[in-house]
Amino acid sequence: MEIDPFIFRFSIFILAIFVGYYVVWSVTPSLHTPLMSVTNAISSVIIVGAIIAALAGSSENIFEISSIFGFLAIVLAAVNIFGGFLVTQRMLQMYKKKKKNK
């Protein structure tokens, strides 16, 4: 009577879609551009897969075909992570300065 873990993951996926729906609708329109950049940054969490792939190389041959793709994916995802979060922070910082000026 064990339940397949896939079904749990699927449940999590469905509920996360609901959460996403609500959480994104509640984003104020003036922050839609930072929203685009931050979603970009978080979607790079795919780096976890890249790390697993990269570390799977054997100790004699660190750069076999699958780990090379892992390393490449790490570079790409890292550009996104740093770039995405930093550019978002830069934008949000600008919004922050406002209140004082009023």
Residues 47-76 that bind other proteins (CB under 8 A): 47-57, 59, 62, 64-67, 69-76
3-state helix, strand, coil in the chain (%, to 5): 80, 0, 20
CA angle, residues 53, 35, 99, in degrees to nearest 5: 135
Q: Which residue shows structure tokens 């509920």? A: 15
Binding flag, residue 1, a copy of itself (CB under 8 A): no
Name the segment binding a copy of itself (CB under 8 A); options: 6-14, 36-44, 76-84, 93-101.
6-14
Binding flag, residue 52, a copy of itself (CB under 8 A): no
Binding flag, residue 22, a copy of itself (CB under 8 A): yes
Name the segment binding a copy of itself (CB under 8 A); options: 8-16, 30-38, 56-64, 93-101.
8-16
Which residue type is seen at 96? Answer: K
CA 83 to chain CA centroid, Å, is 12
Q: Which residue shows structure tokens 């609901």? A: 18
- Interface residue list for a copy of itself (CB under 8 A): 2-3, 5, 8-9, 11-12, 15-16, 18-19, 22-23, 26
